[in-house]
A and B are shown apart, each in its own frame.
Chain A
Amino acid sequence: MNNSILDIVHINNYLYLSLILFAIGVLGVLFRRNTIIIFMCIELMLNAVNLLLVAFSTMHSDPGGQVMVFFIMAVAAAEVAVGLAILVMIFRNFGGVDINLLNRLKW
């Protein structure tokens, strides 16, 4: 038994799915004002890229892509720890997590 899902579902479908997920992430970052939800949308974009990497890794029978996804997950975990600490600091200093509170650099 040697057939993968990519013989049944063409790789284009995976490309479109990841693109749609990534676009939803971009939309969420631009659309919402709550910093936590913006952060979750960034996670969503990371996952869209991960999905595409795994699809191409299966397509080329190359485990390197999956190792890359593994590293991306590690970096995402570290990023979330630091990001949530920053978020707690924002809440403590500004009294809220609305993105419009952070307008010091606005001109």
Chain B
Amino acid sequence: MSKYAFFILAFLSVFSALMVVFSRKPVHSVLYTIFCFFTIAGHYILLNAQFLAAVHVIVYSGAIMVLFLYVIMMLNLNAEGEPHKSGIIKTAAVISGGLFLLVMVSVLKSADGLEVAASGDNQIGMVKSLGMVLYREYMLPFEVSALLFLTAMIGATMIGKKELNS
């Protein structure tokens, strides 16, 4: 049962990721990305990471992709007539992407030590255990990420505002 769920979800992820790259309109790409993120959230649930699945749906599908949609809407970028790259660059892109995949797969083929250990605790993805680890061992990175958000907010506002004098 779980096996079929995994393979169906994996197929849907790869399909929607391919459609992100190959669909013509940017809005369709955004919608396929949202779908891809939902399938990845499904993978998280299969892996017993329920908290991360919820955060993933909220942050990625709820916040980040809505930002993308807003930018496309405000800049009115949904034109279909994107001039495509020349054939030789497309071929080079496909070849280099495929070579990357080939190299990584061949590295994996020769890797060992990937035997699954006897699976212990399946409660590690719950809010309780993650909160314990986050607020004890990773307290300083947590605070630093708050600082990062402040910087990002100020930076986005500074970059995005219009020049007043010119």
Contacts and interface: CB of A to CB of B under 8 A. Distances in A.
A62 to B, nearest CB: 7
Contacts, number: 239
B125 A77 contact: no
Main secondary structure of the interface of A (DSSP, over half): helix
User: On chain B, which size bracket covers the interface?
Assistant: 35 or more
Given A13-B6, A24-B14, A80 B67 contact: yes
Contacts of B100: 23, 26
A23 B105 CA distance: 11
Closest 8 pairs (CB-CB, A-B): A30-B93, A27-B97, A78-B152, A28-B21, A23-B101, A85-B160, A85-B159, A85-B156
Interface of A: 1-17, 19-28, 30-34, 36-37, 39-41, 43-44, 47, 50-51, 54-55, 57-64, 66-67, 69-71, 73-82, 84-89, 91-92, 97-98
Interface of B: 2-3, 6, 10, 13-14, 17-18, 20-21, 26, 29-30, 33, 36-37, 40, 43-44, 46-49, 51-52, 55-56, 59-60, 63-64, 67-68, 71-72, 74-75, 77, 82-85, 89-90, 92-94, 96-98, 100-101, 104-105, 108, 114, 116-117, 119-122, 124-125, 129-130, 133-134, 137-138, 141, 145, 148-149, 151-153, 155-157, 159-160, 162
